[in-house]
Copies of this chain bind each other. A is one copy, B any other.
């Protein structure tokens, strides 16, 4: 009653955190293995080794679980891509900025390609909005960068929008389709495509 008052609750919170972790992990597995429609709460609970009722101690409903799984992935994706983009833009030339962004994106997607597939193919209203919202954020950053390079506002917006969609989907397609060529090749190709369009000096063809 006197020794460790402040740390009293820690074990409980730790336990709780672990349960959330187990459920999220199980949710991710089930989502990847069975798709959104097949990701029933009972299946997720079973995969987490808990009873269906326990799941509801930690999440208010099914979509909250799925939302957490996707949310974490998107948090990671957004953080890393944003950072790559923001770090690359000011210092170096266009080619380097594009290259860094593409690589960051491929890194993230490549770590959980199956999850990204579900996200890309079945985004069930849960995550669709977020993806678009992030794309718009990047749109704005890219627009700013273009304005800084003297591109007229209207053109800047269109160009930014187009280029962002291009990078987003070409990287996604590379992971999902697994075409027969190496990652570096796509990176180079995509970088060149975007860089040229943005009017920077194209990187040499490797």
* Interface presence of A189 (CB below 8 A): yes
Copies of the protein in its oligomer: 4
* Interface presence of A22 (CB below 8 A): no
Residues of B within 8 A of A125 (CB): 35, 121
Residues of B within 8 A of A154 (CB): 181
**SS of A interface (majority):** helix
* Interface presence of A132 (CB below 8 A): yes
Q: How far, in Å, is A142 (CB) from chain B's closest CB? A: 13
Establish whether residues B177 and A193, one from each chain, have CB atoms under 8 Å apart when the complex forms. Answer: no
In Å, the complex CA distance between A120 and B188 comes to: 27
Contacting chain B: which of A7-15, A85-93, A103-111, A161-169?
A161-169
The 12 listed contacts between A and B (C-beta, < 8 Å) are: A37-B124, A121-B128, A122-B122, A122-B124, A158-B185, A161-B179, A162-B186, A165-B169, A166-B170, A169-B169, A169-B170, A196-B197
